[in-house]
């Protein structure tokens, strides 16, 4: 899943040009309602999607975010899926770690799968990769302790942060997937980053069409992760 260095540099610069409280991964989404696809028959598959604004749906209308798109793809495929969106714009891996247990404990039951997508704000803030790895490892350990399968949606660092940073950061997700026998989608923005027609004006967040592109690519991996449960 290749990504051009220029696109990644755009992602980094788009975040660093703003103050921390207003960076592209830190604002909320709109709230207009969009009808849901009806549930198919069969037992419900409950999925928790815990991440940052790429899950929360920054700049999108209600119902256009990635967890809703995944839910719609699964239901269209005949899977009675409910995807709980626990994306919080601006979350770093440290913030996700702090709220993971609360999010799991407040579900109606143990989920069949956790989609875990954090790291974008870590790289925008240039948090040391060792800290990101420590937070992600702690989350994976907690989810494993509860006996819940995980699908990691990975992040990548831009090359202008240097080869050492990039190598250490990019290795986090495949390393954790291997260690915890988790499913892996290596880069969440694969296929949309750098594509003007699929991105919002900030060049960081996908628009509604871009979200559908990600969902088209990601949904088969979600289906396989559910089958493996």
Which of 52, 65, 91, 202 is an active site residue?
202
Sheet holding 81-87, edge to edge: 81-87, 45-51, 113-117, 150-153, 183-185
50 located within any domain: yes
Within-domain flag for 212: yes
Contact 112, 46 (CB under 8 A): yes
Q: Catalytic one among 65, 91, 170, 205?
A: 205
For the chain, strand residue ranges (E) read 45-51, 81-87, 113-117, 150-153, 183-185
Residue 218 domain flag: yes
Residue 219 inside a domain? The answer is: yes
pLDDT at residue 42 in the model:
84
**Active site includes 105?**
no
Confidence at residue 35, expressed as pLDDT on a 0 to 100 scale: 55
Torsion of CA 119, 125, 160, 139, to 10 degrees: -20
Choosing from 23, 53, 86, 89, the catalytic residue is 53
What pLDDT, on the 0 to 100 scale, is given for residue 3?
Answer: 44
90: left (phi over 0), alpha (psi -120 to 50) or beta: left
Query: E-assigned strands of 2-140?
Result: 45-51, 81-87, 113-117
Residues 173 and 181: beta-carbon distance below 8 Å: no
Q: Which of 132, 115, 133, 117 is nearest to 206 (CA)?
A: 117
Task: Evaluate whether 176 touches 138 at the Cβ level (below 8 Å).
Answer: no
pLDDT of residue 157: 96
Q: Domain residues for 102?
A: 45-227
pTM value is: 0.86
Q: Which of the residues in the chain have pLDDT under 70?
A: 1-36, 229
Residue 142 lies in a domain: yes
- Integer Cα distance of 164 and 139 in angstroms: 24
Q: Which residues contact 162 (CB under 8 A, 6 or more apart)?
A: none
Question: How far apart are alpha carbons 209 and 61 in whole angstroms?
Answer: 12
What CATH number did the domain enclosing 69 receive? 3.40.50.1110
The domain tally of the chain equals 1
* Residue 28 within a domain: no
- Among this protein's residues, is 53 annotated catalytic? yes
pLDDT of residue 11: 52
Is 202 considered catalytic here? yes
Phi, psi of 149 (to 5 degrees): -65, 155
Phi first, then psi: give them for residue 32, nearest 5 degrees: -70, 140
* 168 within domain boundaries: yes
Give the pLDDT of residue 61. Answer: 95
What pLDDT, on a 0 to 100 scale, did the predictor assign at position 41?
82
Say how many residues make up the chain.
229
Place of tokens 């069949």: 112
- Placement of tokens 């700049």 in the chain: 59
Residue 192 within a domain: yes
């Amino acid at each position: 899943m290749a990504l051009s260095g220029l696109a990644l540099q755009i992602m980094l610069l788009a975040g660093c040009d703003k103050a921390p409280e207003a960076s592209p991964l830190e604002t909320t989404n709109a709230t207009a309602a969009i009808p849901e696809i009806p549930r198919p028959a069969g037992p419900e598959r409950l999925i928790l999607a815990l991440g940052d604004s790429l899950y929360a749906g920054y700049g999108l209308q209600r119902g256009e975010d990635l967890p809703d798109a995944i839910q719609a793809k699964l239901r269209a495929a005949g899977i009675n899926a409910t995807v709980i969106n626990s994306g919080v714009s601006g979350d770093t891996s440290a913030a996700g770690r702090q709220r993971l247990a609360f999010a799991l404990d407040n579900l109606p039951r143990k989920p069949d799968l956790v989609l875990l997508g954090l790291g974008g704000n870590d790289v925008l803030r240039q948090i040391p990769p060792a800290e990101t790895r420590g937070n992600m490892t702690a989350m994976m350990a907690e989810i494993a302790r509860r006996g819940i399968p995980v699908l990691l949606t990975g992040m990548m660092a831009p090359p202008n942060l240097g080869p050492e940073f990039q190598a250490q950061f990019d290795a986090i997700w495949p390393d954790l997937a291997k260690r915890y026998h988790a499913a892996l989608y290596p880069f969440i923005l694969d296929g949309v980053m750098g594509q003007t027609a699929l991105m919002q004006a900030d060049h960081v967040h996908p628009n509604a069409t871009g979200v559908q592109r990600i969902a088209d690519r990601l949904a088969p991996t979600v289906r396989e992760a559910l089958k493996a449960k």
